[in-house]
Structure 1
């Protein structure tokens, strides 16, 4: 039986910032979606479970074998396909044996896995990647020759080849076309053990049987899919807001009663002073002491009630979610109707002839199956170059100097911006204070995307053409909503590669282009 248990799990970054403190959890059988805001620590938790990071305290107990598909797999373009599959050493040993040059060590390496290549090809075929091993380079080709979607499916193939009992998937649908997504959905549905999925893909999250929410270092489980989770959270928030309203009303009421009590005490004290003048000194002193004790008790009672009401209000306010969300304000870069933006006439390295003209503030969606060359076409556009200031958001997010801080990277793109302007812009993307001084290499997938957006949108001169290659990868759903709203208001031209059809529809796409083996064709809206 597969199992996954976290016991008193605690982890902090080297600077001392805690990510988790004392997390206890038992993951149920079946499919669990791990959700939370960008930066909540979802990928970090998967890395701890996978043993890629060591906890400060506590333990992770896995029943059976574990496989882990990380979200930054596409950042290793020099790795070979067989290395990603984990069979490179076995293949080399097998080929030496087949050529008559095998050693004792080669036979040990191969073991009983004489069909390792056949199994790999069969699994690739199951996920729609048979063509990856079909050409001359075969399993020895590098990841850099594959599209982002093909690389993700390759990583899933590698995970499934190990026949794991526990499967961890971090943003597995990034860059996948609709057909590839359906294959991945089927693979997840059919997996017999425990699957833990980090994703912003609602369709995938709605296939989950449990949702685990990571929030402020705590892990909480909700039965059902993502839609049921949202409904449960919404109901909780309605109750929390009602509790806040009631608590505020009680604070006001207790405050008024305290004032009324103080007024009564003051009135009694004034009356008491008048009476004291007509009484013997000993009796007047005793009455004064009694009056002071009674007043103090009354005041303390009402103050305690007010303090209790304030404490209840604080607890009620803590239950209300006040999540920080990115705020995107795109530069006011106008492209007028009829203005020439781009005129591309070339042949891609993959052989497709491409004729692409962009005029005025057009919004163009570029679609096509994984591996057809959409990213290659975007690179050709960048090399043209366009006739207006432009910026590109690359699919691999490889536009950073990894050794430099986030603020330094943005300053490189906007040399005339002040440090205050740079940090103000980064704060709108939730990089506040010392977060802006983190090296780019330390950013998570969602953080890299937010940082890249901040970098291209603060660039000088302000872009009038945005080239976006899979811009929704790794974004949590609220951030995706803000990005969509901002792009809707952008007054320049857009060329967007994406497999997220609802996102493209929300952008108000004016032309839909499909890249095929024969070139670029205009198609009906999807």
Structure 2
């Protein structure tokens, strides 16, 4: 490891285009110094692409990347060989073997060269695993015995053991449960080793950075502090932008009015001049000269006002560009309403095919909003798939007593070959096309956008389309189940999802790890899933997190 004070990342005139010609970045220059940076931006803005360029996983079309120090990178879609031992995944197996050989009396020089100065590598590895909540993971265990969240933390532990000067993390909390997220937060809190850049939509994680870098329209804007400070700065900017837009619109109206008044005055003068010339019977050449002179003056005056109007319109466009698109989903779904006393879901002596639940009991009544939380591998997704009828239980009963719809993490409710409108129509037979399109407009698919094939949508658009197909289905769902709905959603997407659920009047069952989101949608009941299904509270969940952190 080099001196962390000198750690840095610099981009110079960086451009990147995909093979089909799509431009992601065009001439971006950026310098990142020591500290923790949160890289944010809308889905599709190029955040993950930029990280891959910084990590050397992609080659720029133009420009350059310079890294001061050793770099480590945690990609968003992580895969590890499940046959590896944990020490192999950590990159310390060879050093462990050399240490064992030396301890057994084999003093060949090659073993000492492998160990170098890292005599405490095993102790450091165990301490790093313990700090990430993996204290019970043995170095000789195989990776295949770990959950998906544990695999992410294991890879992070491997990177931390490298003692990098620059660490890049791409959406590291996506597949982590509440407890694993807390461990990752602590790792970010304790980072003091150089440059840390994290791409994330996790607001709790982003609160822990020193500054925010927003990638928007191919440029980066810096904001001091974490997520809350960034939001406050944006609010001030948007208020100022709103004032500028209103002033610019007023100026356009004024310039239009002055141009119209000028045109009326010029026309009046021309009529008056023509009338005088006729009365005076001026020679034709004199009258023609007067007419040309008057026309030139009129053209200059009109051109002056047209230029002013065009300048005012340009200022209005600039002001409008500074206003962010805060479009929200507000859809009317009256037929999803459920009376307060009606039972919508019943579980009796339920045992899951996968996961630890044995003999679970539950009833959901009326428009309850239920959060399902638990550790990775506890069976949350299995429970939802069992309720949706996709999996048969090992024993017991799982029964929905009202129309039910399930939106899985993989969003496979969509047929990629069909348009957005056709996907909704497929799940809402008999519903008029005009009604479907009117509702889709509220999901921000207006006009021709409703005809876009599902397979061509961006990540955020695809989620909105899947949500629309689920919520607009016929019969209207009176029980809606969502599995980790905020995974891979940017902040605008989370806000749009929240707005859509505010409009929903039926019962909700949401499996999730994002406490802020769950609280924002008005959860009325919390369930903790382990080997049983028990009632809990948001406060208890937070207490459990604190206990885990301790």
TM interval, short-chain normalised: 0.7 to 0.9
Residue 139, structure 1, aligned to residue 141, structure 2: yes
How far the C-alpha of 1:166 sits from its partner, in A, is 0.9
How far the C-alpha of 1:238 sits from its partner, in A, is 2.0
- Is the alpha carbon distance of 1:130 and 1:289 closer, same or farther for their aligned partners in structure 2, counting shifts above 3 Å? same
Deviations 1:143-162 (A, max 9, x none): 6x41x443332232232122
For structure 2, list consecutive stretches of 5 or more residues without a partner in the other structure. Answer: 1-5, 540-550
Residue 244, structure 1, aligned to residue 255, structure 2: no
Deviations 1:161-208 (A, max 9, x none): 221111112222335455443432221122221111122222322222
Residue 363, structure 1, aligned to residue 369, structure 2: yes
Q: Is the 8 A contact 1:328 1:482 kept in 2?
A: no
How far the C-alpha of 1:246 sits from its partner, in A, is 1.9
| Aligned counterparts of 1:197 and 1:427: Cα–Cα separation in 2 | 33
How far the C-alpha of 1:317 sits from its partner, in A, is 2.1
Q: Is the 8 A contact 2:270 2:294 kept in 1?
A: yes
How far the C-alpha of 1:410 sits from its partner, in A, is 10
Question: Residues 13-52 of structure 1: matches in 2 within 5 Å?
Answer: 13-52=18-57
Deviations 1:111-167 (A, max 9, x none): 656765554332111111112338xxx531316x41x44333223223212211111
- Partner residue of 1:174? 174
Deviations 1:380-407 (A, max 9, x none): 545345335544444xx346499x8374
- Partner residue of 1:287? 290
How far the C-alpha of 1:88 sits from its partner, in A, is 8.2
- Is the alpha carbon distance of 1:35 and 1:314 closer, same or farther for their aligned partners in structure 2, counting shifts above 3 Å? same
- Partner residue of 1:7? 12
* More off after superposition, 382-391 vs 168-177: 382-391
| Aligned counterparts of 1:245 and 1:311: Cα–Cα separation in 2 | 14
- Partner residue of 2:543? none
Q: CA RMSD in A?
A: 4.2
* More off after superposition, 459-468 vs 297-306: 459-468
Match 2:533 to one of 512, 520, 526: 520
The 3-state SS of whatever aligns with 2:359 is strand
- Is the alpha carbon distance of 1:316 and 1:508 closer, same or farther for their aligned partners in structure 2, counting shifts above 3 Å? closer
| Aligned counterparts of 2:61 and 2:305: Cα–Cα separation in 1 | 46
- Partner residue of 2:400? 387
Match 1:405 to one of 413, 416, 421: 416
How far the C-alpha of 1:83 sits from its partner, in A, is 8.4
Q: Is the 8 A contact 1:78 1:142 kept in 2?
A: yes
- Is the alpha carbon distance of 1:309 and 1:454 closer, same or farther for their aligned partners in structure 2, counting shifts above 3 Å? closer
| Aligned counterparts of 2:156 and 2:312: Cα–Cα separation in 1 | 54
* More off after superposition, 504-513 vs 207-216: 504-513
| Aligned counterparts of 1:464 and 1:79: Cα–Cα separation in 2 | 44
How far the C-alpha of 1:21 sits from its partner, in A, is 0.7
- Is the alpha carbon distance of 1:261 and 1:426 closer, same or farther for their aligned partners in structure 2, counting shifts above 3 Å? closer
Deviations 1:397-442 (A, max 9, x none): 346499x837489978975669x869995993779479645479xx
| Aligned counterparts of 1:289 and 1:245: Cα–Cα separation in 2 | 40
- Is the alpha carbon distance of 1:308 and 1:412 closer, same or farther for their aligned partners in structure 2, counting shifts above 3 Å? closer
Deviations 1:8-64 (A, max 9, x none): 111223332221111100013201111112222222221222222222222221111
- Partner residue of 1:229? 230
Match 2:486 to one of 464, 469, 472: 472
How far the C-alpha of 1:84 sits from its partner, in A, is 8.5
How far the C-alpha of 1:219 sits from its partner, in A, is 1.5
Match 2:305 to one of 294, 302, 317: 302
* More off after superposition, 485-494 vs 304-313: 485-494
TM-score by length of 1: 0.81
Aligned residue pair count: 509
- Is the alpha carbon distance of 1:225 and 1:427 closer, same or farther for their aligned partners in structure 2, counting shifts above 3 Å? same
Residue 70, structure 1, aligned to residue 75, structure 2: yes
For structure 1, list consecutive stretches of 5 or more residues without a partner in the other structure. Answer: none
- Partner residue of 2:155? 155
- Is the alpha carbon distance of 1:489 and 1:280 closer, same or farther for their aligned partners in structure 2, counting shifts above 3 Å? closer
The 3-state SS of whatever aligns with 1:386 is strand
| Aligned counterparts of 1:80 and 1:426: Cα–Cα separation in 2 | 50
Q: Is the 8 A contact 1:200 1:477 kept in 2?
A: yes
| Aligned counterparts of 2:81 and 2:410: Cα–Cα separation in 1 | 11
| Aligned counterparts of 2:90 and 2:439: Cα–Cα separation in 1 | 45
Question: Residues 92-491 of structure 1: matches in 2 within 5 Å?
Answer: 112=116, 118-133=123-138, 138-142=140-144, 145-146=146-147, 148-191=148-191, 192-277=193-278, 278=280, 279-322=282-325, 332-333=335-336, 335=338, 337-339=341-343, 341-347=345-351, 352-361=357-366, 362-378=368-384, 381=387, 383=391, 384=393, 386-388=399-401, 389-394=403-408, 397-398=409-410, 400=412, 405=416, 407=418, 415=426, 428=443, 432=449, 436=453, 438=455, 450=464, 453=467, 456-457=470-471, 463-491=477-505
| Aligned counterparts of 2:356 and 2:225: Cα–Cα separation in 1 | 47
The 3-state SS of whatever aligns with 1:33 is strand
The 3-state SS of whatever aligns with 1:301 is helix
| Aligned counterparts of 2:188 and 2:272: Cα–Cα separation in 1 | 81
TM-score by length of 2: 0.78
How far the C-alpha of 1:488 sits from its partner, in A, is 3.8
Deviations 1:458-493 (A, max 9, x none): 667654433333222232223223322333443443
